[in-house]
Amino acid sequence: MGLLLAMVLATATAAAAAQPACGADALGTSRTLTLKREAAAWGAQHAALPTLAPGEIVLSFDDGPRPESTPRVLKALADQCVKASFFMNGEPMRQHAALARQVRDAGHSVGMHGFRHEHFPQLSSAAQLADLDAMVATYRAALGSEPAAYRFPFLEETPTLLTALRERGLTVMSVDAGAEDWLPDQTPQMLADKLMGQLAKSGGGIVLLHDAQDQTAAALPFLLQALKAKGYRVVHLRWE
């Protein structure tokens, strides 16, 4: 075998190992949308994500990382060559920092979702700000980088935290559609029906799911197939 041919083969093999083979029947990731690191707010509570066309969706997963379910979500996404955003809580992120890094190293975006999953409107301003400080510190410790985005637990936004996030240049991420996958005993078909119904109304946008839910991890291959069948195109959200 000539040296050049051997090098070509070695390069091709390395590329194949790094990139899962996804056929035409895979959902895939159609494009990447890179946002500025700035104080902004997107999703139904605020404004539509810029440049998102009808039928384009951003997949996001909240409440992890959780060893029992997050790896199954990563596997389902990798099998379909889909990149998503994970909004992690600080407590599990601190406890499972290696899993948080695994999510990032798989090419997904990581945002924040509150150190504890609190109802912030019921807390004092000082307690809200302490939770944000703990969340940011945990993110830095786990990932060694600066966070760019935040999603409120229960989507319960407060003036105190909205001001603090704006002052820190952090983007607020709301949602446009979901599957209500926090409800108990949801079958894959029930979750798919709910998600398709909400997406039919929103026309696309930011999709909220929960990688901390076993039923969501189990249903995800089916949900991704359903999105593909309906012609939705996945956009990978990143921050510069």
Beta-ladder partners of 239: 35
Strand runs labelled E in the chain: 31-35, 41-42, 56-62, 85-88, 109-112, 149-150, 171-173, 177-178, 205-210, 233-239
- Does position 181 bind Zn ion by CB under 5 A? no
Residues 2 to 41 in contact with Zn ion, rule: CB under 5 A: none
| Residue 56 or 181 with smaller CB distance to Zn ion | 181
Give the nearest distance from C-beta 20 to Zn ion in angstroms: 28
Q: Which stretch binds Zn ion (CB under 5 A): 65-73, 119-127, 145-153, 170-178?
A: 145-153
Angle between helices 125-143 and 159-167 (to 10 degrees): 40
Rounded to a whole number of angstroms, the minimum distance from the CB of residue 5 to Zn ion is 52
Q: Are 236 and 32 in contact (CB under 8 A)?
A: yes
- Least distance CB 152 / Zn ion (angstroms): 9
| Touching Zn ion, residues 99-128 (CB under 5 A) | none
Can you read off the two tokens belonging to residue 192?
């798919």
- For Zn ion, the closer of residues 153 and 204 by Cβ is 153
DSSP label at 46?
Answer: S
Question: Least distance to Zn ion from the beta carbon of 154, Å?
Answer: 7
Structure tokens at 223: 């949900």
Number of residues binding to Zn ion, judged by CB under 5 A: 3
The CA-CA-CA angle for residues 204, 208, 209, to 5°, reads 130
- Computed on alpha carbons and rounded to an integer, the radius of gyration of the chain in Å comes to 19
How far apart CA 207 and CA 42 sit, in angstroms, is 12
Map the footprint of Zn ion across residues 47-76, applying CB under 5 A: 62-63
| CB-nearest residue to Zn ion | 62
CA angle 144, 77, 173 (to 5 degrees): 55
- Nearer to Zn ion by Cβ, of 60 and 160: the residue is 60
Single out the segment in contact with Zn ion by CB under 5 A; choices: 48-56, 69-77, 150-158, 194-202. 150-158
Q: Which is nearer to Zn ion, 62 or 157 (CB)?
A: 62
Interface ranges with Zn ion (CB under 5 A): 62-63, 153
